[in-house]
Amino acid sequence: EAEVAQSPRYKITEKSQAVAFWCDPISGHATLYWYRQILGQGPELLVQFQDESVVDDSQLPKDRFSAERLKGVDSTLKIQPAELGDSAMYLCASTLTGTGQETQYFGPGTRLLVL
């Protein structure tokens, strides 16, 4: 069964350092989402891509976060510099076309701890 891949699974860093997370969606899925899940809360959308284009980054803290999906396949989310409040689980999800009532398939997530 096809799955969304994410790496690393765990990341510990010190504040002010740069970190990067990688996501490979299910093959053929045009829409890719990055969510942030703070402990004890539900995930919140950071950025949504349709192919290589950003369609929603309204909740992305653009002063320190960046995301790209250059060839419309895999994606990288970067934080520079990391802050203590960035400690969270970062989840990637994908859907085939991103419209209608499609199911979003989630990866296992990257758990970030900022010290």
Partner 1 sequence: GNSVTQMEGPVTLSEEAFLTINCTYTATGYPSLFWYVQYPGEGLQLLLKATKADDKGSNKGFEATYRKETTSFHLEKGSVQVSDSAVYFCALSDRGFQKLVFGTGTRLLVSP
* β-pair type (19-24, 31-37): unpaired
1 forms part of the interface with partner 1 (CB under 8 A): no
25 forms part of the interface with partner 1 (CB under 8 A): no
43 forms part of the interface with partner 1 (CB under 8 A): yes
Smaller CB distance to partner 1: residue 12 or 18? 12
Q: Tell which one of 1, 27, 42, 71 touches partner 1 (CB under 8 A).
A: 42
Residue 97 near residue 87 (C-beta atoms within 8 A): no
Smaller CB distance to partner 1: residue 59 or 80? 59
Smaller CB distance to partner 1: residue 77 or 93? 93
Residue 66 near residue 78 (C-beta atoms within 8 A): yes
CA distance 76 to 55: 16
Q: Tell which one of 12, 54, 55, 113 touches partner 1 (CB under 8 A).
A: 55
Of 81, 43, 49, nearest in space to 65 by CA:
81
Of 75, 76, 77, 91, nearest in space to 29 by CA:
75
Contact footprint for partner 1 (CB under 8 A): 4, 6, 31, 33, 35, 40-45, 48, 50, 55-56, 91, 93, 95, 98-109
